[in-house]
Structure 1
């Protein structure tokens, strides 16, 4: 039944451009143990748009470089691997969040700030956990793209808006995810994961996106657990969560699974808020 619903949804979705091949290739190279920056440069240079974005962001006040950089290779050398990945993923992801999501009651700025903040929180948690570079990469990419399923489903939520409102009125204790399942037969996590699978993203990233609202699935992977926690924390700040943003609470099982103390959460929320406000201006 779910497969049929997904097929019906994706049969009608032909306006969402695929994740650029150049960006995918660059990320693949950056996941290697010995990263060849000349190879990264060669791949990125084949897309002038990404090059322009890259240099503009690197030269922004947010990075605070001592002098202007006009060479892509020099920029790559000045940045760490994680920062290079951040710029590539964020500059591409921004293109998907440029429209207001009317069906979700979110402006383009809301959804972008939410995605950035989630990414920054997740990255900080992964760094504290001592994750490998590749795992930090998976956590960051999944966090920035975790709500991409909303882009796909927005058309349907707009068409079924009255039904959504009626369902909320009938079930005031339910959250938006439960209402998505009741009205549409899927949720945006499942749709987002399906989209990224079609684009060829690694399984751990797809699973984390699938699981970020599922209390059982999020405890099956540390990457998924961090994405889920980061989403909860950025929602608790009131950033881009939609109609039920303040219903979020962090389950003790999730903190136990990640071995994170409650008193660390405020630190992560502050980092997510500060960095997202700084960097949103640069994209």
Structure 2
């Protein structure tokens, strides 16, 4: 009951924050698939059939599953194979990711905000979160991947809501990987993108753990937040390649992991991210 009351309050808060902004709805085929994934009585092959009905969703799910960043050891040739192999929870996270990408891309972001660059950075965070989870807490690789991809989903909405004043903060964050974007947002607008992203995730009916990870990824490991998800937030939306040496140093200071190994990981995730961003496009 307490969780339900808190969610209702959060939904009222997000309604107030988004007043005058039309948040895009989830694509119909995504809603249909998610509904069946969350219904234990729905046959898993019916879900595969629904995925196949929409060519765009079909292609994006299959391409994303087969991207190097997703971490499977072999290629999957059909949706039926993907559905049976991934299981409901992991497939739900994947379909959610595709739905968020389509929905945010339909939003009215200002011309200065580069959505293509944003999704490449999101793909880098997903690849880094999964790569670090593989080392730090292997049992949560799939969750870390999805949270890494979606943790900054509130940023393009902040850009739409706050306009040019937000542009200055965003560009400052792009220029320095030590800038705390969430802190700047809170100081200037009394609202930060993790809070906004979590509110949108609630409105879009995300699983509770993913809502928590979106809302708390900038905080220092509170409430069971996985270390890999928190570290992935160090990747900014800066154009161009990651400063691998500087980022490896910061990750080393947080985790004690070997710097040389971290630099190799960061080189690998750059390639993985390009492929993942292309799969979602």
TM-score by length of 1: 0.68
Partner of 1:128 in structure 2?
Answer: 135
**DSSP 3-state at the match of 2:199:** helix
- Is residue 230 from structure 1 mapped to residue 242 from structure 2 by the alignment? no
Q: Which of residues 241, 266, 277 in structure 1 aligns to 2:274?
A: 277
Counterpart CA distance in 2 for 1:91 and 1:27 is 15
Q: Distance in 2 between matches of 1:162 and 1:146?
A: 19
Residue 9 of structure 1 is matched in structure 2 by 17
> Partners in 2 of 1:222 and 1:230 — Cα distance?
12
Q: How far, CA to CA, are the matches of 2:60 and 2:229 in structure 1?
A: 26
Gaps of 5+ in 2: 1-8
Offset at 1:92? 2.8
Distance 1:255 1:61 in 2: 25
The separation in 2 between residues aligned to 1:149 and 1:248, in whole angstroms, is: 26
Q: 1:124 to 1:80 in 2, by over 3 A?
A: farther
Unpaired segments ≥5 residues, structure 1: none
Q: CA deviation at 1:202?
A: 2.1
Distance 1:66 1:162 in 2: 41
User: In structure 2, do the counterparts of structure 1 residues 131 and 111 end up closer, same or farther at CA, with 3 Å as the change threshold?
Assistant: same
SS of equivalent residue, structure 2 residue 163: helix
Find the counterpart in structure 2 of residue 140 from structure 1: 145
> So what's the TM-score if we normalise by structure 2?
0.68
Superposition RMSD in Å: 4.5
Shift of 1:151: 2.6
Using the TM superposition, give the Cα deviation of residue 26 of structure 1 relative to its aligned residue in structure 2, in angstroms.
6.4
Indicate conservation of the 8 Å contact 2:128/2:269, yes or no. Answer: yes
